[in-house]
């Protein structure tokens, strides 16, 4: 084949284009004569915007046009008969050989190399440039030829590199923002805890009705700030990539039972029927993250349902397990559904905005992504909402779920002695406020700021006493370690409450359940703290009766 296409007088109809199904090569309705069109075609072939070469089935160059001279610095006629490797940097030749072999098995029109970063060509002077190459195969007399259009992509590559760098920078900045938010919201929880406890303490001692009303308003504001802080901490931790799911076998019945017990009082206070069906399935996943996900969906269902019911149900099909959280609440307008998973997005239906912070579903989406699940929301205004969580088959565990007995209702003897408490908390503000609050609740309370002080107090521990400890005590010890050491020394399960600003991580680090121990999130909900103390007192009463 000649380097000058004009010398090749073979009519096009002799070319077997079985690799290329396009029939019409010449545009119909053209204003040019056939001779003019021939000249245009010849010109285009010689001086095409991209360098053109044709390679035979032995990887030899059979044709090169004038643009090749510009791009590679080789005279086209000098390339004819030369191996294709002449245009490929030595370091890439072996790799390229594999590509051409596989291309010959399935020749088709396509761009070479999915990632432009991989493709380089070499000029006559030995310098390299990144290349974009488009291939088009054709046959002449049954023999395979491949035409390649080659261009220098240096500029495109630079733009691409800049875009990649900008994207990395944006991701880095986003992670930095998430880390900042995580730290800030975590650190704000200590003073928040103090304020919350002091507010509860004041509510106990202030007799004037007007003052109590103000304190009540204040407690509402504290609650909404706490909700915001918790949600901010959750979403920023998830987004900063700090959370790695730890998979264990999770019997769904246990998770559902815990959810029922957490939400039953809210449902009762809102006069909404809460139906929870306990499923027989076991899922291999991160227990705490799954709980957090369902907690957000159930929380929303109850928040946006004024009357009727909320249902948590579960079923399996060929693709895996489905969990539905359904409600008969206000529903979500169809045109808003698309955005409800966005951060801080809220639908304001009759002032519902103030009930949340717009992060619940963003957390759900992020957790579902981390766990490999998918979540969809279906809704009809005025009829209700269904959140559907799909757990793919690969996460279903073979073990059958143990049967869950509903927890017996604890009956508390109102005349029983209030438990004595030992409080271990290193933050002065939180310790003083907690101690004041617990004393006002009628508990004899002693407190320690350090582990050494705590050890002295714990020497005087009596059966029935309850230990309340912060999880992060110092660099080496956690409140839980302290409790476990105490239990070993005394030979019985000393009841304990462990408080943590990062409850999900703490729960995830615990391998086996800890009996007679309650874990609460900081800033602690004062009602939850009193509930935990009451429950543990009843338990240690049972222990004492059992021992007698
Ligand atoms: P919020 O903190 O406002 O509840 P979410 O991210 O959890 O934020 O939810 C986003 C919006 O989606 C909410 O403002 C609410 O309008 C709507 N929404 C979520 N779940 C429900 C539901 N079960 N019923 C009605 N509306 C819901």
- Which ligand 1 atom sits closest to the C-alpha of 231? 2
Q: Which residue reads 């900063």 in tokens? A: 240
Contact 92, 100 (CB under 8 A): no
pLDDT at 512: 80
Contact 52, 149 (CB under 8 A): yes
- Band (pLDDT 50/70/90 cuts) for residue 157 is confident
* Residue in 235, 301, 309, 340 to alter for ligand 1 test, most ligand atoms within 8 A of Cβ: 340
CA distance 374 to 391: 7
Beta strands in 186-279 (DSSP E): 248-251, 272-276
Residue 246 has pLDDT above 60, yes or no: yes
Distance from Cα 386 to the centre of ligand 1, integer Å = 12
List CB contacts of 428: < 8 A, sequence separation 6 or more. Answer: 449
Evaluate: CB of 347 within 6 angstroms of ligand 1: yes
Distance from Cα 314 to the centre of ligand 1, integer Å = 22
Distance from Cα 385 to the centre of ligand 1, integer Å = 10
Tell me the average pLDDT across 257-278: 91
- Band (pLDDT 50/70/90 cuts) for residue 298 is very high
Distance from Cα 345 to the centre of ligand 1, integer Å = 8
pLDDT at 288: 85
Q: What is the model's pTM? A: 0.60
Contacts 24+ apart (CB under 8 A), 194-200: 194/427, 194/429, 194/430, 194/432, 194/433, 195/222, 195/433, 196/222, 196/226, 196/523, 196/524, 196/526, 197/430, 197/433, 197/434, 197/436, 197/437, 197/524, 197/526, 198/433, 198/436, 198/437, 200/437, 200/526
pLDDT at 483: 93
Contact 232, 359 (CB under 8 A): yes
Report the SS3 class of residue 64.
strand
- Which ligand 1 atom sits closest to the C-alpha of 384? 24
Contact 35, 17 (CB under 8 A): no
pLDDT at 548: 45
Contact 494, 540 (CB under 8 A): no
Provide the token pair at 142: 């049954």
pLDDT at 113: 67
pLDDT digits (tens, 9 = 90+) for 328-374: 999 999 999 999 999 888 887 666 665 678 889 999 999 999 999 99
Residue 15 has pLDDT above 70, yes or no: no
pLDDT at 351: 66
pLDDT digits (tens, 9 = 90+) for 369-426: 999 999 999 999 999 999 999 999 999 986 555 554 544 444 445 455 688 999 999 8
Provide the token pair at 199: 């507010």
pLDDT at 271: 92
Evaluate: CB of 340 within 6 angstroms of ligand 1: yes
Residue 78 has pLDDT above 90, yes or no: yes
Distance from Cα 391 to the centre of ligand 1, integer Å = 22
Q: List the residue whose alpha carbon is closest to atom 11 of ligand 1.
A: 346
Evaluate: CB of 366 within 6 angstroms of ligand 1: no
Half-sphere exposure of 477 (CA within 13 A, CB side): 19
CA distance 53 to 99: 17
Evaluate: CB of 332 within 6 angstroms of ligand 1: yes
Cα 479 to chain centroid, rounded:
30
Residue 502 has pLDDT above 60, yes or no: yes
Tell me the average pLDDT across 61-80: 95
pLDDT at 313: 96
- Which ligand 1 atom sits closest to the C-alpha of 360? 7
- Which ligand 1 atom sits closest to the C-alpha of 325? 23
Sign of the dihedral defined by the CA atoms of residues 33, 38, 43, 48, in that order: positive
Distance from Cα 347 to the centre of ligand 1, integer Å = 7
- Which ligand 1 atom sits closest to the C-alpha of 358? 8
Mean pLDDT, rounded, of the chain: 85
Evaluate: CB of 385 within 6 angstroms of ligand 1: yes
Evaluate: CB of 310 within 6 angstroms of ligand 1: no
pLDDT at 411: 46
Q: Which range among 53-67, 114-128, 436-450 shows the weakest confidence by mean pLDDT?
A: 114-128
**41 burial level (CB within 10 Å; 0-12, 13-18, 19+):** middle
- Which ligand 1 atom sits closest to the C-alpha of 329? 24
- Band (pLDDT 50/70/90 cuts) for residue 22 is very low
Provide the token pair at 219: 């407690």
Percent of the chain surpassing pLDDT 90: 47
CA distance 246 to 287: 8
CA distance 346 to 356: 8
pLDDT at 383: 94
- Which ligand 1 atom sits closest to the C-alpha of 377? 20
pLDDT at 191: 87
Residue 446 has pLDDT above 80, yes or no: yes
pLDDT at 114: 53
pLDDT at 541: 63
In terms of phi and psi (left: phi > 0; alpha: psi -120 to 50; beta: otherwise), the region of 444 is: beta
pLDDT digits (tens, 9 = 90+) for 191-217: 888 898 999 999 889 988 888 888 988
Highest mean pLDDT, choosing among 190-194, 355-359, 496-500, 544-548? 496-500
CA distance 493 to 514: 9
Q: List the residue whose alpha carbon is closest to atom 20 of ligand 1.
A: 300
Residue 480 has pLDDT above 90, yes or no: yes
Evaluate: CB of 346 within 6 angstroms of ligand 1: yes
Evaluate: CB of 360 within 6 angstroms of ligand 1: yes
pLDDT at 228: 81
Residue 150 has pLDDT above 60, yes or no: yes
pLDDT at 14: 41
In terms of phi and psi (left: phi > 0; alpha: psi -120 to 50; beta: otherwise), the region of 126 is: left
Contact 147, 48 (CB under 8 A): no
* Residue in 356, 364, 385 to alter for ligand 1 test, most ligand atoms within 8 A of Cβ: 356
Evaluate: CB of 329 within 6 angstroms of ligand 1: yes
pLDDT digits (tens, 9 = 90+) for 314-326: 999 999 999 999 9
Dump the DSSP string for 467-505.
Answer: EEEESB-SSS-BHHHHHHHHHHHHTS---EEEEETTHHH
CA distance 162 to 346: 36
Of the two residues 28 and 48, the one the predictor is more confident about is 48
pLDDT at 412: 45
Provide the token pair at 296: 């957000």
């Amino acid at each position: 084949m000649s380097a000058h296409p004009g010398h090749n007088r073979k009519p096009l109809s002799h070319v077997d284009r079985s690799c290329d199904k396009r029939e019409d090569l010449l545009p119909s309705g053209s204003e040019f004569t056939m001779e003019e069109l021939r000249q245009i075609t010849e010109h285009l072939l010689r001086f095409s915007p991209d360098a053109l070469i044709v390679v035979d089935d032995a990887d030899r160059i059979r044709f090169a046009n004038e643009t090749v001279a510009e791009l590679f610095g080789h005279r086209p006629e000098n390339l004819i008969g030369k191996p294709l490797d002449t245009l490929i940097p030595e370091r890439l030749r072996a790799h390229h050989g594999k590509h051409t072999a596989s291309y010959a098995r399935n020749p088709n029109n396509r761009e070479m190399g999915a990632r432009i970063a991989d493709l380089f060509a070499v000029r006559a002077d030995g310098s390299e440039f990144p290349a974009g190459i488009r291939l088009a195969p054709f046959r002449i007399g049954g023999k395979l030829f491949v035409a390649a259009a080659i261009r220098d992509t240096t500029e495109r590559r630079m733009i691409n590199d800049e875009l990649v760098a900008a994207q990395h920078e944006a991701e880095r900045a986003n992670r930095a923002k998430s880390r900042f938010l995580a730290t800030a919201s975590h650190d704000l929880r200590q003073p928040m805890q103090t304020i919350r406890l002091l507010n509860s303490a004041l509510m106990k001692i202030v007799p004037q009705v007007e003052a109590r009303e103000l304190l009540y308003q204040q407690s509402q504001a504290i609650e909404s700030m706490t909700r915001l802080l918790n949600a901010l901490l959750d979403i920023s931790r998830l987004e900063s990539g700090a959370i790695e799911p730890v998979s264990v076998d999770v019997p769904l019945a246990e998770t559902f039972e815990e959810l029922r017990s957490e939400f039953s009082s809210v449902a009762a206070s809102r006069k909404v029927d809460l139906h929870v069906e306990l499923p027989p399935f076991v899922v291999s996943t991160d227990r705490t993250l799954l709980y957090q996900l369902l907690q957000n969906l159930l929380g929303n269902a109850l928040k946006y349902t004024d009357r009727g019911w909320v249902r948590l149900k579960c079923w399996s099909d060929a693709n895996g397990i489905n969990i539905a959280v359904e409600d008969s609440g206000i529903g979500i307008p169809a045109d808003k559904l698309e955005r409800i998973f966005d951060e801080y997005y809220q639908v304001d239906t009759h002032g519902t905005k103030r009930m949340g912070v717009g992060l619940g579903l963003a957390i759900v989406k992020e957790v579902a992504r981390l766990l490999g699940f998918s979540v969809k929301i279906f809704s009809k205004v005025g009829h209700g909402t269904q959140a559907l969580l799909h757990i793919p088959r690969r996460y279903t565990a073979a073990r059958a779920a143990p049967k869950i007995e509903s927890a017996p209702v604890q009956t508390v003897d109102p005349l029983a002695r209030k438990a004595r408490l030992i409080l271990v908390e290193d933050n002065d503000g939180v310790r003083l406020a907690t101690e004041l609050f617990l004393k006002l609740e009628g508990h004899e309370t002693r407190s320690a700021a350090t582990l050494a002080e705590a050890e002295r107090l714990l020497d005087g521990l009596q059966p029935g006493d309850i230990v309340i400890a912060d999880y992060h005590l110092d660099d080496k010890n956690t409140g839980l370690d302290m409790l476990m050491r105490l239990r070993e020394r005394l030979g019985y399960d000393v009841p304990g409450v462990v408080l943590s600003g990062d409850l999900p991580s703490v729960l995830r680090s615990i391998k086996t359940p800890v009996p007679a121990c309650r874990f609460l999130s900081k800033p602690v909900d004062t009602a939850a703290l009193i509930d935990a103390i009451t429950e543990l007192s009843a338990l240690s009463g049972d222990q004492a009766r059992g021992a007698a």
